[in-house]
Chains A and B, each alone.
Chain A
Amino acid sequence: MKTSFKVLVLGFIIGVMFWGGFNWTLELTNTESFCISCHEMKENVYMEYQNTIHYNNRSGVRATCPDCHVPKEWLYKIKRKIQASNELYHKVLGTIDTPEKFEAKRLELALHEWQRMKSADSRECRNCHDEESMDYTKQGRRAIYAHSEEAKKTDKTCIDCHKGIAHSLPANWEQAAKDAGL
């Protein structure tokens, strides 16, 4: 009785440690500095992102890489993290380790991202931009029309209209997105 209790307690403690360690690793890999520790991420997409509103703006609130690319909800997050181990594999292969290789593969990567965002109804954007809290009357003339009429009429989600919000777009993106129904 006593030993089995001890085992249970020990098991519990080890469990907590693993769980904590697991979540700790998750958090550690959920930072911008982790993302740009790979030059593939730093030299292309990070450079472009620095010129955009989510890096530098009047209010000083930033959206970092994982804010847009890694879901917040646990289950989706784990799913994305497992997918992301593919990046490690391609890192070893050197799939995009030069600017030329990156440019050549960029459209494909962008299409993955659009697909992911569209199928989740732009969940990551909505984590910060709550449609309900958007005061259309305070927006610009073009945004008012797009958000309150065009988006409602055509059932569009954020990423349908805001492609290239954080990075530069590849040359034939418009046709490719259309062909893929994105």
Chain B
Amino acid sequence: MKKRFVPLSFLMLLLATTLTLYAEELQSLRGNTPLSEESMPAENKPWAKDSEPIARNYVQQPPLIPHLVEGYVVNIKFNKCMSCHSWTNYQQNRATKISQTHFKDRDGNDLATVSPRRYFCTQCHVPQVNAEALIENTFKPVEAVSQ
């Protein structure tokens, strides 16, 4: 019993040290600052100015927001995005008309207003800053279906 215990505990010690060593090399986006300490705040990057629509990278991608959205309110009574993107307002504002897919609920029924699962636009559509990607990305779209 005792003889078996020694190599076993040795093995476990080995495992624990490799794990801790490995953990030290692991870096999350907040660096390797322990959870109990505050990491250095990232540099504050200004939002990109209004521009033309940004090319999409693949079919079914939610298009990126090519303009400032600071202070745009989306709450239960008011959706600022819709004041330009709704079907009644898009022409006057020269904005892209909100996609028809956004009126379907999850069972495929067409609704008269934006479906609740599409109501909070910035869940999927995001404004941009001029910054380097945090993680390298080698994604390529399937050629047959990319513009």
CA distance A53 to B68 in the complex (A): 13
CA distance A168 to B77 in the complex (A): 8
Q: At the interface, yes or no: B123 with Cβ under 8 Å from chain A?
A: no
- Name the interface residues of A128-177: CB closer than 8 Å to any CB of B: 140-143, 145-146, 150, 164, 168-171, 173-174
Size band of the interface chain B makes with A: 10 to 19
Nearest chain A CB to B47 CB, angstrom units: 11
Partner of B78, one of A141, A145, A150, A173: A173
Residue on B with the closest CB to A171?
B77
Q: Give complex CA distance A168, B75 in Å.
A: 9
Taking CB atoms, residues of chain A closer than 8 Å to B68 are 140
Partner of A168, one of B67, B78, B92: B78
A51 within 8 A of B: yes
Cross-interface CB contact of B49 among A51, A52, A140, cutoff 8 Å? A140
> Which of chain A's residues have a CB closer than 8 A to the CB of B94?
142, 145
Measuring CB to CB, which residues of chain A are less than 8 angstroms from any residue of chain B?
51-53, 140-143, 145-146, 150, 164, 168-171, 173-174
Since A142-B93, A164-B78 are in contact, a sample of 7 more A-B pairs with Cβ atoms closer than 8 Å, ordered by chain A residue number, is A53-B71, A141-B49, A142-B67, A168-B75, A170-B78, A173-B78, A174-B83
